[in-house]
Amino acid sequence: VQLQASGGGLVQPGGSLRLSCAASERTFKYGVTAWFRQTPGKEREFVAAIRWNDGHTRYADAVKYRSIISRDRIQNMAYLQMNSLRPEDTAVYYCAVTPKNYNTGSHSREDIYDYWGQGTLVTVSS
């Protein structure tokens, strides 16, 4: 399974972006989809995750109240809507998925995800 992350770009501070994540297999059975991000010289960090069977979400404190993760069962895609973007949100954003329904306490762990996208760059700058 290959993941395609898209939607990144250049946005001014205070602006919004919506990232998308799609699997190459349209019938892929998602358990959890997550977004992580990484800036040069820093470790990759958890951003948000959603469990497909019940829609339960989890967010990192850094993006909480400014971001919404969602999934579309018909399109079989996941999204990350980011609002009120700040320069410190600049990073390469990666989507990751697992077919297993892990409890939300595990969603920030990178090791539970079986597949990773190639990343999409988000740059927040005036």
Q: What's the confidence (pLDDT) of residue 23?
A: 87
The tokens for 72 are 């579309």
Whether the predicted pLDDT of 20 surpasses 90: yes
Lowest mean pLDDT among 18-27, 81-90, 113-122: 18-27
d(CA 68, CA 61): 13
Among 10, 14, 9, smallest CA distance to 86 is for 14
d(CA 106, CA 123): 28
The tokens for 10 are 């250049």
Whether the predicted pLDDT of 45 surpasses 90: yes
Q: Give the tens place of pLDDT for each residue, 63-100.
A: 999 999 999 988 889 999 999 999 999 999 999 999 99
Whether the predicted pLDDT of 25 surpasses 90: no
Among 100, 106, 30, smallest CA distance to 72 is for 30
3 state SS of 26 = coil
Whether the predicted pLDDT of 26 surpasses 90: no
Measured in whole angstroms, the distance separating CA 27 from the mean position of its chain's CA atoms is 20
Average pLDDT along the chain: 95
Give the confidence band of 24 by pLDDT, cuts at 50, 70, 90. Answer: confident
d(CA 23, CA 5): 9
* Average pLDDT value for residue range 37-41: 94
